[in-house]
A = this chain, B = another copy of it.
Amino acid sequence: MKKAKVAIFGASGYSGEELVKRLSEHPLVELCCLTSRQYAGKKASEVFAWIGRRSPLANLEFIEPDVPSLAPLGIEFAFLALPHGVASEFAVPLLESGIRTLDLSADFRVKDPEVYKYFYHHEHPAPDLLRKSVYGLPEAYRDEIRSARLVACPGCYPTSILIPLLPLIRAKVIRLSSVIVNSLSGVSGAGRKAERDLLFVECNESARPYGLPSHRHLSEIEQELSNAAGESVIIQFAPHLIPLNRGIATTIHADPVTKVAVESLSEVYESAYGSEWFIRLLGSNRYPDIKNVVGTNRLEIAWRVDPRTGRIILMSAEDNLVKGAAGQAIQCFNIMNGWDEALGLGM
């Protein structure tokens, strides 16, 4: 099969590095271009110590991000692992050049520019594109992704929250105003920023809530929950930083609309995800654990009904850099190409 020519913009952050690693091993990808303002002119192998001299990446150099100069390379797909607000700058000319674009930032996830402004505190830089972007959650938008020219890949928290919640929302099992979400994230979720709060000594032997009560990811979570519900949904979300490199564990509490048996939850999930390659249903006896999904594109879900309170409890675990970022983007990319969704994503 013909390989796709791919560029990665902003390849030096954690999500970018994960994209580089995985796309360089993808059997149908020709990785043609890595951009980085910080490292332009440097060899990728100087920046990423894991690149061996026999790797296809051994001789690739970082270049300045500049869309027109890419024209001669024949790039067909661009992955943007740029900071929020910067990605949209590049998406516009990329799309105009006919390059299908997968954006890992938050720039095109939220459809409503007003909601974007409320959570991101500035006007959306390219509101026209919002209508054209497809939210890159394959388990929800597989058909739309297939033909999308601009995929807005979901955030790490939203993925861990939406995948367990959407089927129950669609099945009208859950009382919409009752959803309370607690998430625990590894430190790579905060990005590769040289900030004092992210130093080893500050994070190790530490655990702390943050971003309460209005974390930015709520904008896309509530948008998608509202779409599934057919009415506006507002939830409670408490993120926490815990001392591990990768992974998100999410625990969700919600009231059922009417008394519900755990078996009926199992049916909803089996029906929704029974044939999903990357969703692992743990049922009502096992627990998800970050260590079982790290390095994979899998998301685990378990569920309970509390006999004392009647409440539904959902739990999920994922690798924030894989199913929560780079892996999910590659899953979308495979879909856009009509390929096996798991290509280059391991077991």
Contacts and interface: CB of A to CB of B under 8 A. Distances in A.
Interface string A26-53: 0000000000000000000000011011
For the residues of A in contact with B, the DSSP-based class is loop
A53 B278 CA distance: 10
A311 interface: yes
B194 A199 contact: yes
A95 to B, nearest CB: 32
Interface in A184-241: 184, 186-188, 192-196, 198-210, 212-214, 234-236, 238, 240
Nearest to A253: B180
Contacts of A253: 180, 236, 238, 253
B201 A199 contact: no
A199 to B, nearest CB: 5
Contact of A180 (B55, B180, B247, B290): B180
A240 B302 CA distance: 14
Contacts of A52: 280, 298, 347
A288 interface: yes
A251 B188 contact: no
A175 B110 CA distance: 34
A212 B304 contact: yes
A25 to B, nearest CB: 6
B280 A205 contact: no
B204 A204 contact: yes
A317 to B, nearest CB: 8
Contacts of A288: 208-209
Contacts of A293: 50
Contact of A184 (B200, B240, B291, B311): B240
19 contacts: A180-B180, A182-B251, A184-B242, A194-B196, A198-B200, A200-B200, A202-B291, A204-B243, A205-B244, A205-B246, A206-B291, A207-B290, A208-B288, A208-B290, A209-B249, A212-B313, A212-B315, A213-B307, A242-B244
